[in-house]
C-alpha cells in the first residue's frame, strides 16, 4: 500500500506480535517505513503476550526496537470516555480502547488507517469509516 497524503497507520498488537514471532502471516516490510501510531496499550499487550509464551527474554531487544518505531498515544480521559460509548459491533475491552484511540486521532484532524489481523477490529474500523492498511494476507 502506498501512503496517501499524511495518513498515519494505527498498529494493532496482532500485527506487532506477528512480526515479532515470525508468524506465517507477517506484515509487509514497507509498513515499518510508514508513520505508525498506537495506544500505549500496544506496549503492554506485546510484553504480556511475549511473557505468556515464555519468549520475553529472547525477544526483548526486537520488541524494544519494534516499539520504538511506533508513536504511543496515552489513554487520555477523552479516549476512555469514548470507549464507554457504543460501537457498531461488539468489541473486547482492549479493542474498544484501541478504536476509541483511533477515533480521538481522527477527531483531532489525523487521517488514520488501521493495520490489524483481528477480524472484529477491522470490521468495526471499516464500519466507522477507517480505511484498512493492506497487510497483503
Instruction: Report pLDDT for 4.
Output: 44
Tens digit of pLDDT at every position of the chain (137 positions): 333 456 899 999 999 999 998 778 888 888 998 899 999 999 999 999 999 999 888 889 999 999 999 999 999 999 999 999 999 999 999 999 999 999 999 999 999 999 999 999 999 999 999 999 999 86
Instruction: Report pLDDT for 62.
Output: 93
Domain contains 132: no
Domain contains 136: no
Give the CATH number for residue 20: 3.40.50.1010
Domain contains 137: no
Instruction: Report pLDDT for 12.
Output: 95
30 DSSP assignment: G
Domain count, the chain: 1
What is the gyration radius of the CA atoms in the chain, in angstroms? 14
Separation CA 61–CA 109 (nearest Å): 34
8 A C-beta contact, residue 41 and residue 94? yes
8 A C-beta contact, residue 137 and residue 97? no
Strands 111-115 and 7-11, sheet pairing: parallel
Give me the half-sphere count of Cα atoms (radius 13 Å) on the Cβ side of residue 26. 10
Domain contains 1: no
Domain contains 123: yes
Instruction: Report pLDDT for 26.
Output: 83
Domain contains 96: yes
For residue 71, what is the enclosing H or E element?
strand 70-73
Q: State the pTM of this model.
A: 0.91
For residue 112, what is the enclosing H or E element?
strand 111-115
Domain of residue 118 covers: 7-127
Amino acid at each position: 500500500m502506498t501512503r496517501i497524503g499524511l495518513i498515519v497507520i494505527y498498529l494493532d498488537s496482532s500485527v506487532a506480535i506477528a512480526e515479532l514471532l515470525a508468524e506465517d502471516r507477517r506484515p509487509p516490510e514497507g509498513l515499518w517505513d510508514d508513520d505508525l501510531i498506537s495506544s500505549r496499550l500496544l506496549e503492554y499487550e506485546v510484553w504480556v503476550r511475549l511473557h505468556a509464551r515464555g519468549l520475553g527474554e529472547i525477544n526483548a531487544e526486537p520488541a524494544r526496537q519494534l516499539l520504538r518505531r511506533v508513536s504511543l498515544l496515552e489513554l487520555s480521559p477523552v479516549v476512555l470516555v469514548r470507549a464507554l460509548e457504543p460501537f457498531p459491533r461488539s468489541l473486547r475491552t482492549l479493542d474498544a480502547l484501541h478504536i476509541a484511540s483511533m477515533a480521538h486521532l481522527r477527531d483531532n484532524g489525523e487521517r488514520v488507517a488501521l493495520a490489524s489481523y483481528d477480524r472484529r477490529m477491522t470490521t468495526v474500523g471499516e464500519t466507522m469509516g477507517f480505511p484498512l492498511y493492506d497487510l497483503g494476507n
